[in-house]
Amino acid sequence: MKIGIIGRTNVGKSTLFKALTLEEVAVEDRPFTTIDPNRGVGYVNFDCPEKEFHTKCNPHNAPCVDGTRYIPLELIDVAGLIEGAGEGRGLGSKFLSEAMEADALIEVIDISGKTDGAGMKTEDYDPGRDISMVKEELKVWLKSIILRYRPKSGEDIVNNIYKGLTGLKMNRDTVKMGIKELDIKELNDATAEKLAEYMIEKDKPVIVACNKMDTTPDLDKKLADLRSRFKYTFVPCSAAAELTLKEAEKHGYIKYNEKSDFTVIKAGDSEQKKALDIIKRITQKFSGTGIAELVKEAVFMVKKYKVVFTVEDEKKLTDGNGRVLPDAYLVAPEHTPRDVAGLVHSDFVEKYKGAIDCRTGLKIKNDEPVKNGQVIKIIV
Ligand SMILES: Nc1nc2c(ncn2[C@@H]2O[C@H](COP(=O)(O)OP(=O)(O)OP(=O)(O)O)[C@@H](O)[C@H]2O)c(=O)[nH]1
Ligand SMILES: [Mg+2]
């Protein structure tokens, strides 16, 4: 699964990316710090089935900490948008095609209202303006692709548009349904715009990360206001707090479990101690940094993806190297064990003979989508 991180400039997109991947990327308090996209691997947490199976896992692709598995997913962080990006303002919007390779989009906003639409310092800026702006820019960007692939006489409208969407994880059926439901007979400026809006809503769900909650005194009021104006999912968070905790953990100062709190295991200098005291106050006030919830919400609630564990030996729950419950994958809701086979090994799709549910020991029907948390043996 791939998640694209988008939003207005200077809101904390790269901070979020860095907190999730621990990649060394540029974070600065100025507009347009990111120019080329950052790509990396982040994780979403999920309960490890080891306890239920009375065993101890020995992970290969998805690390386990105190019974919580960290399931890998791909992340892309792109340059920031500003109003008029579609007409080339700021860094333009051509780079959106990178983020649009994703299955879902996390749109970061600065809920504190302390930076304006151009990423400069201000007070009381309405982040709702950014949400409308990003929606508009996505629409303008997709509309231009649709118009570029407008069919010539005799060409099939659906096929043509779909050709233009190669690599963008959009469904052919969505194009087809959009044209039917919107009763589009010919593609012009107005109909292409309607179709673009329809397709983004269907195929590129947006979840809003309300970042910088740590500097937002009237957070609840601001959240309620945004929720009344837009039908997106809003998750309050602090990417900077999450990044501080992840880095402190990486350097051995604290033990941090995203699900709970952190404990200091090695004293740092007075500056580090001060920083951690501030973070402690934030995480206690808001019950965490909100980042783990944000990713979970995007993966499981908005996209309805599932986690599936694969093993080679359905009794011992091991792979060929004897590792217990070694691998876990994120799969789309419609995916069957054959699709999972393709994630394990590209060869396995061809060689696939069936799959066994390790809880029941029974064969899974070929067209049956996998269940969340299912442990399966793929027969090849
Ligand atoms: N208070 C606070 N500041 C944050 C938070 N997250 C990010 N910042 C700060 O916001 C500024 C911008 O962060 P970036 O991650 O570079 O923002 P960006 O959206 O990637 O910016 P561009 O790439 O320039 O579009 C930096 O000074 C960060 O330290 C947060 O949760 N709280
Ligand atoms: Mg950035």
Cα 309 from Cα 155, distance rounded (Å): 44
Looking at the structure, tell me whether residues 204 and 351 fall in a common domain.
no
Give me the pLDDT at residue 260, please: 63
Q: Where are the alpha helices (DSSP H) in the chain?
A: 13-21, 96-99, 128-148, 157-164, 172-181, 189-203, 219-229, 239-250, 270-286, 291-296, 337-344, 348-351
Give me the pLDDT at residue 286, please: 87
Looking at the structure, tell me whether residues 12 and 138 fall in a common domain.
yes
Looking at the structure, tell me whether residues 26 and 158 fall in a common domain.
yes
Give me the pLDDT at residue 354, please: 95
Looking at the structure, tell me whether residues 216 and 82 fall in a common domain.
yes
Q: What CATH code is carried by the domain that includes residue 318?
A: 3.10.20.30
Maximum alpha-carbon separation in the chain: 73
Q: Is the dihedral of CA 125, 199, 75, 96 positive or negative?
A: negative
Atom of ligand 1 at shortest range from CA of 108: 19
Residue burial 215-239, b: 16+ Cβ < 10 Å; e: rest? ebeebeebbeebeeeeebbbbbbbb
Average pLDDT over residues 110-139: 95
14 C-beta closer than 6 A to ligand 1: yes
pLDDT digits (tens, 9 = 90+) for 240-250: 999 999 999 99
Looking at the structure, tell me whether residues 105 and 191 fall in a common domain.
yes
Q: Give domain status of residue 237, yes or no.
A: no
216 C-beta closer than 6 A to ligand 1: no
Least confident of 10-19, 22-31, 89-98, 306-315: 89-98
Mean pLDDT of the chain: 93
Looking at the structure, tell me whether residues 175 and 313 fall in a common domain.
no
pLDDT digits (tens, 9 = 90+) for 311-348: 999 999 999 999 999 999 999 999 999 999 999 998 99
Closest CA to 295 of 21, 10, 8: 21
Looking at the structure, tell me whether residues 320 and 182 fall in a common domain.
no
Looking at the structure, tell me whether residues 210 and 335 fall in a common domain.
no
191 C-beta closer than 6 A to ligand 1: no
Q: Give domain status of residue 59, yes or no.
A: no
Looking at the structure, tell me whether residues 82 and 196 fall in a common domain.
yes
Share of the chain above pLDDT 90, in %: 78
* Amino acid occupying residue 15: T
Looking at the structure, tell me whether residues 137 and 19 fall in a common domain.
yes
Count of domains forming the chain: 2
- By DSSP bridging, strand 68-77 and strand 262-264 are unpaired
Model confidence at 130, pLDDT cuts 50, 70, 90, reads very high
Average pLDDT over residues 127-140: 96
Q: Give domain status of residue 101, yes or no.
A: yes
Looking at the structure, tell me whether residues 212 and 310 fall in a common domain.
no
Q: Give domain status of residue 132, yes or no.
A: yes
- Please give the distance of CA 257 from its chain centroid, rounded to a whole number: 20
Cα 67 from Cα 28, distance rounded (Å): 36
Model confidence at 46, pLDDT cuts 50, 70, 90, reads very high
Domain residue limits at 328: 305-379
Give me the pLDDT at residue 55, please: 96
pTM of the model: 0.94
Q: Long-range pairs for 311-320 at CB < 8 Å and ≥24 separation?
A: 311/358, 311/375, 311/376, 311/377, 312/377, 313/377, 314/356, 314/358, 314/361, 314/377, 317/53, 317/55, 317/358, 317/375, 319/60
Judged against a pLDDT cut of 90, whether residue 24 lies above it is answered with yes
Give me the pLDDT at residue 177, please: 96
Q: Give domain status of residue 258, yes or no.
A: no
Q: Give domain status of residue 118, yes or no.
A: yes
pLDDT digits (tens, 9 = 90+) for 339-355: 999 999 989 989 999 99
Average pLDDT over residues 180-208: 94
- Per DSSP, the three-state class of 69 is strand
Q: Give domain status of residue 285, yes or no.
A: no
CB atoms closer than 10 angstroms to residue 294: 28
214 C-beta closer than 6 A to ligand 1: yes
Model confidence at 259, pLDDT cuts 50, 70, 90, reads low
Atom of ligand 1 at shortest range from CA of 10: 21
Looking at the structure, tell me whether residues 171 and 316 fall in a common domain.
no
Highest mean predicted confidence (pLDDT) among 160-164, 249-253, 311-315: 311-315
Average pLDDT over residues 187-214: 95
